[in-house]
Amino acid sequence: MGRSPCCDENGLKKGPWTPEEDQKLVKYIQNHGHGSWRALPRLAGLNRCGKSCRLRWTNYLRPDIKRGKFSQEEEQTILNLHSVLGNKWSAIASHLPGRTDNEIKNFWNTHLKKKLIQMGFDPMTHRPRTDIFSSLPHLLALANLKEIMDHPCFEEQAVRLQAEAVQMARLQYLHLLFQPPSSTSSNGPNNITNNFTTADMDTINLLNSLSGSLGSASTSANQHPQHNLLQSVNDVSVPFSHLPDLQVPCTTTTQTSSLSINKNNMVHEDQEFSALLFSQSHESSDPNSPWFPSPSPTSATPPTRNGSISNLIDACSTSSYGEVVASVWPDLLLEDSLFHDQL
């Protein structure tokens, strides 16, 4: 569909708005409503195109706009929704009263995206990045590079850093297993029985070699490549305090929702959760659901999540964090007594 840009018209002002222009626009819309944006500039006495007026109004002058810093709750909402919706800024904005899509987009590009990258997560998929070097800034910060450089026993510190890197990678991997598949594939990397990407496999092999060098995992050429890492995750003591909150994005054909449960057993549901819970009773066998049962595991395959989305939601609503972890990943063994106390 062709359309000549309205701003191509000669003589129309562009660039920052002056207070006088703002005043004219606000006064006109208060008295008459915006009506046709194309006609508005002439009627309001503004030398601007309609599109410029619309943007100025919707992104800045509208009286219900909430300005100032984003709260922690708003930040978490954006992260949760972005993990489900992607760059659908207007859809995300509809869940944050008073915030504009433009403001959320800017906040994402200038803060949240960088934050996720620094934490070692891919900002588009919200999954841990699978190249080990992407986690380096975080790992170096974790190990405090200056402390290492200054320490007389540099080698000892290097070993500690390496151990922390392996532990961090394991935790990220664990987190990966709890993430929903990306929206571009209903059969994505989370189907952990058979759909690792090449990058995932590279990481797994690298981590297995690191694990081997630290003497914490057995190796066997006959096993599936991912088995060693998973075995080492099962073998190793993963501190309960390091487990992530369980995020459960739920998507139907008509709506999205999410629910999370943290280690204090606090369940947080978003606004559409009740409606979704109702709809799930009719869609629990949806094969595209991120929590649809995977094929039965064999002795050579890693642990498999079980449970349909409906019983997972039920579990989250009525169970402890530990019980939910156990229901999602029954083969996971954690040596932390706090975890087992919850079961």
Partner DNA sequence: AAAAATCCCAACCGCGTTTGC
Partner DNA sequence: TGCAAACGCGGTTGGGATTTT
Interacting residue ranges for DNA, rule: CB under 7 A:
1-7, 14-17, 36-39, 50-52, 54-56, 59-60, 87-91, 101-103, 105-107, 109-111
Minimum distance of DNA from residue 108's CB (angstroms): 8
Minimum distance of DNA from residue 58's CB (angstroms): 7
Minimum distance of DNA from residue 203's CB (angstroms): 26
DSSP H or E segment with residue 251: strand 246-251
Residue closer to DNA by CB (options 92, 174) is 92
Minimum distance of DNA from residue 237's CB (angstroms): 37
Amino acid in the structure at residue 70: F
150, with CB counted inside 10 A (0-12, 13-18, 19+), is exposed
290, with CB counted inside 10 A (0-12, 13-18, 19+), is buried
Residue closer to DNA by CB (options 15, 215) is 15
Minimum distance of DNA from residue 165's CB (angstroms): 25
Amino acid in the structure at residue 157: Q
Residue closer to DNA by CB (options 52, 304) is 52
223: which residues sit within 8 A by CB, 6+ positions away? 300
Minimum distance of DNA from residue 86's CB (angstroms): 8
CB 253 within 8 A of CB 244: no
Task: Write down the H helix ranges in 68-197.
Answer: 72-85, 89-93, 101-107, 113-118, 136-143, 145-150, 154-178
Residue closer to DNA by CB (options 183, 306) is 183
- Please tell me what DSSP assigns to residue 87: S
Residue closer to DNA by CB (options 37, 292) is 37
Residue closer to DNA by CB (options 53, 248) is 53
CB 336 within 8 A of CB 317: no
> DSSP of 296-311, one letter per residue?
PP-TTSPP-----HHH
Residues in the chain, overall count: 343
Residue closer to DNA by CB (options 87, 185) is 87
Query: CB-hemisphere CA count at 13 Å for 245?
Result: 15
Tokens of 101: 């899509």
- Please tell me what DSSP assigns to residue 284: T
Using alpha carbons, list the distances in angstroms from residue 39 to 50, 176, 276.
7, 52, 42
Minimum distance of DNA from residue 54's CB (angstroms): 6
Minimum distance of DNA from residue 8's CB (angstroms): 8
d(CA 200, CA 177): 12
CB 201 within 8 A of CB 270: no
Residue closer to DNA by CB (options 27, 111) is 111
Minimum distance of DNA from residue 253's CB (angstroms): 16
Residue closer to DNA by CB (options 12, 206) is 12
